[in-house]
Amino acid sequence: MTAPKKLYIKTYGCQMNVYDSERMAEALGGQGYVETKTPDDADMILLNTCHIREKAAEKVYSELGRFKGLKAARPDLKIGVAGCVAQAEGQEIMRRQPLVDLVVGPQSYHRLPEMEAKTRAGEKALDTDFPEEDKFEKLRARPKAKRGPTAFLTVQEGCDKFCAFCVVPYTRGAEVSRPVDRLLTEARDLVERGVREITLLGQNVNAYHGVGPDGADWSLARLIWALNDVDGLERIRFTTSHPNDMAEDLIEAHADCPKLMPYLHLPVQSGSDRILKRMNRSHTAEQYLRLIERLRAARPDLHMSGDFIVGFPEETEADFRDTMALVEAVQYGSAFSFKYSTRPGTPAAERAQVSEAEKDDRLQRLQALLTRQQRALQDAMVGREVSVLFEKSGRMPGQMVGKSDYLHAVHVDSDAIAPGDLARVRIVSSGPNSLAGELSR
Ligand code: 5AD
Ligand code: SF4
């Protein structure tokens, strides 16, 4: 028997890339690869990349440079670039970094086995097509191995929104939703293997419109309700949503659907109507705030999360203050904020840029406010009872870590808990990044 070949995958960017990396490892599993945790003994290195901000792409090039020594020592080592940088830069990657043997875009990775064979024959392999066939169908079924209690499930890909700053509509293509029956089959399979919480993924997940088993067009809410009936599945989450696709049935699901968790990532990007318009977001700050009111009327304890960009072209101090005011009005449970990063080929790249010093200053002020809010909401959990899905051992012996309904990390000291257990926990204290609790009796 030949020894298995070793595959090292490094994943950058969003959760959709995490899901894609799992599927790529499975696809190459058929070629005799097993995953390894270090590039040092790998036969193939794959970087699954993100192109959302400038630094993300630059990081990939510097990481590739670091593999020079490994490749010199072992010329048989194959190096591949996958994901959105692969899609956006294609051939340019091989030109700029001759170490690279393989470049595969996010819509073509089901073709990895043939591409890998090509590299073994000494050729370079490049595929950044948007093929007709469904890559998920072409991939081998997920192996039946046991897995952890939480999993991602990509239900939708691509984006038709064309926000003026964003490369996603170009790298991931138009919105496509996977059919309901395939998703339910994949979800049941995950549950059989030990998964108790599934996060539905999509660049615009709430724009999901898949073909149902009845041939009708199913919304995300309908899909969530069908998942709610899957025995053994305990929790459902979804991310990332656009405010304009927050349909009434999805808002109602937050009130009525028992397994849908009270946490919603709903990026707004800015609180200034002038900037929202220039961003091509197609909604105002007021519409976003009214939407959150409706969501909180449905589910009063809903924890909100968001994304913000500071220093978008032409953003003034007054525009930025509008963003701060919106944040004050919402009270976020968590949030991500970024300095605007110029992406070539997007409309905003051509406009008057805000200075780096102003971007830094605004980011610092916004992050200070968001951190205060996050901490306040977390501290307010002390004394409350929450359900926790335990995932793994903590750093201390006898300690287990899991996530609350609201996605807070929670530590509990107990020998009686195993990964995958769902238990009621009383929160006793709040630290910088996590809560501590005790099992409720
Ligand atoms: N510059 C900075 N942040 C960006 N994002 C997307 N494009 C850019 C850009 N050009 C942020 C948005 C989005 C998140 C995934 O990344 O906030 O919601
Ligand atoms: Fe990018 Fe806007 Fe689409 Fe989100 S909605 S992926 S920010 S274009």
CA of 44 to the centre of ligand 2 (A): 32
Q: Given ligand 2 and candidates 16, 166, 171, 312, which is best to mutate, with the most ligand atoms within 8 Å of its CB?
A: 166
Q: Is 166 annotated as a binding residue?
A: yes
CATH for 287? 3.30.750.200
Pairing between β-strand 156-157 and β-strand 150-154 as defined by DSSP bridges:
unpaired
CATH for 225? 3.30.750.210
Select from 171, 175, 191 the least CA-distant residue to 183. Answer: 191
Tokens representing residue 325 in the block: 């005011």
- Of 98, 127, 156, the residue that ends a domain is 127
Same domain assignment for residues 182 and 282: no
Percent of the chain with pLDDT over 90: 85
Query: Which region, left, alpha or beta, applies to residue 31 given φ > 0 means left and ψ of -120 to 50 means alpha?
Result: alpha
- Of 260, 289, 308, the residue that ends a domain is 260
Return the bridge partners of 439, or none: 425
Q: Residue 434: which residues within 8 A CB-CB, separation 6 or more? A: 401, 408, 409, 410, 411
* pLDDT number for residue 134: 75
Same domain assignment for residues 192 and 250: yes
Asked whether 281 lines ligand 2 (CB < 6 A), one says no
- Of 75, 100, 127, the residue that ends a domain is 127
Domain encompassing residue 172: 144-260
CATH for 405? 2.40.50.140
Give tens-digit pLDDT for 170-180: 988 999 999 99
Of ligand 1's listed atoms, the one at least distance from the Cα of 167 is: 7
Q: Does 133 reside within a domain? A: no
* pLDDT number for residue 138: 72
Ligand 1 atom 6: the closest Cα is on which residue?
A: 166
Containing 78, the helix (H) or strand (E) segment is strand 78-82
Do 390 and 423 form a contact (C-beta atoms < 8 A)? Answer: yes
CA of 231 to the centre of ligand 2 (A): 34
Asked whether 111 lines ligand 1 (CB < 6 A), one says no
Same domain assignment for residues 396 and 367: no
Q: Given ligand 1 and candidates 17, 165, 343, 363, which is best to mutate, with the most ligand atoms within 8 Å of its CB?
A: 165
Same domain assignment for residues 101 and 211: no
Same domain assignment for residues 103 and 191: no
Percent of the chain with pLDDT over 70: 98
Give tens-digit pLDDT for 145-158: 788 999 999 999 99
Query: What is the Cα–Cα distance from 298 to 430, expressed in whole angstroms?
Result: 27
Same domain assignment for residues 238 and 212: yes
Do 174 and 132 form a contact (C-beta atoms < 8 A)? Answer: no
* pLDDT number for residue 358: 98
Q: Given ligand 1 and candidates 205, 338, 350, 363, which is best to mutate, with the most ligand atoms within 8 Å of its CB?
A: 338
Confidence of residue 57 (pLDDT cuts 50, 70, 90): confident
* pLDDT number for residue 398: 87
* pLDDT number for residue 100: 96
Q: Given ligand 1 and candidates 50, 240, 309, 337, which is best to mutate, with the most ligand atoms within 8 Å of its CB?
A: 309
Q: Is 14 annotated as a binding residue?
A: yes
Cα-based distances in Å from 10 to 7, 19, 117, 140, 270: 10, 12, 21, 21, 32
Give tens-digit pLDDT for 353-406: 999 999 999 999 999 999 999 999 999 999 999 999 999 988 888 899 999 999
- Assess whether pLDDT exceeds 70 at residue 46: yes
Same domain assignment for residues 165 and 244: yes
Provide the sign of the torsion angle of the four alpha carbons 61, 67, 68, 74, taken in this order. Answer: negative
- Assess whether pLDDT exceeds 70 at residue 141: no
* pLDDT number for residue 395: 83
Query: Which region, left, alpha or beta, applies to residue 232 given φ > 0 means left and ψ of -120 to 50 means alpha?
Result: left
Query: What is the Cα–Cα distance from 24 to 244, expressed in whole angstroms?
Result: 32
Tokens representing residue 61 in the block: 């090039």
Q: What is the mean pLDDT of the chain?
A: 94
* pLDDT number for residue 140: 57
Same domain assignment for residues 297 and 349: yes
Of ligand 2's listed atoms, the one at least distance from the Cα of 169 is: 8
Q: Residue 197: which residues within 8 A CB-CB, separation 6 or more? A: 149, 150, 151, 233, 234, 235, 236, 237, 389, 403
- Assess whether pLDDT exceeds 80 at residue 208: yes
Q: Does 427 reside within a domain? A: yes
Q: Is 159 annotated as a binding residue?
A: yes
DSSP state of 355: P
* pLDDT number for residue 240: 96
Asked whether 204 lines ligand 2 (CB < 6 A), one says yes
Q: Average pLDDT for residues 52-70, to the nearest whole number?
A: 89
Going across the sheet that includes 334-339, the strands are: 263-265, 303-310, 334-339
Asked whether 172 lines ligand 1 (CB < 6 A), one says no
Confidence of residue 31 (pLDDT cuts 50, 70, 90): confident
CA of 410 to the centre of ligand 2 (A): 31
Select from 319, 356, 355, 350 the least CA-distant residue to 164. Answer: 350
Q: Does 56 reside within a domain? A: yes
Q: Does 154 reside within a domain? A: yes
* pLDDT number for residue 143: 64
Asked whether 403 lines ligand 1 (CB < 6 A), one says no
Same domain assignment for residues 96 and 178: no
Query: What is the Cα–Cα distance from 271 to 277, expressed in whole angstroms?
Result: 11
Q: Average pLDDT for residues 265-283, to the nearest whole number?
A: 98
Q: Quote the number of domains for the chain.
A: 4
Give tens-digit pLDDT for 222-238: 999 999 999 999 999 99
Asked whether 425 lines ligand 2 (CB < 6 A), one says no
Query: What is the Cα–Cα distance from 341 to 357, expressed in whole angstroms?
Result: 14
- Assess whether pLDDT exceeds 80 at residue 139: no
Place of tokens 């990396």: 21
Q: Does 21 reside within a domain? A: yes
Q: Is 257 annotated as a binding residue?
A: no
Q: Does 188 reside within a domain? A: yes
Quote the longest CA-to-CA distance of the chain: 68
Ligand 1 atom 18: the closest Cα is on which residue?
A: 307
Same domain assignment for residues 12 and 122: yes
* pLDDT number for residue 158: 93
Same domain assignment for residues 9 and 95: yes
Query: What is the Cα–Cα distance from 373 to 369, expressed in whole angstroms?
Result: 6
Pairing between β-strand 235-239 and β-strand 197-201 as defined by DSSP bridges:
parallel
Q: Does 134 reside within a domain? A: no
Give tens-digit pLDDT for 309-335: 999 999 999 999 999 999 999 999 999
Query: Which region, left, alpha or beta, applies to residue 194 given φ > 0 means left and ψ of -120 to 50 means alpha?
Result: left
* pLDDT number for residue 6: 96
* pLDDT number for residue 197: 98
* pLDDT number for residue 415: 87
- Assess whether pLDDT exceeds 70 at residue 142: no
CATH for 64? 3.40.50.12160
- Assess whether pLDDT exceeds 90 at residue 133: no
Q: Does 138 reside within a domain? A: no
CA of 379 to the centre of ligand 2 (A): 32
Same domain assignment for residues 281 and 351: yes
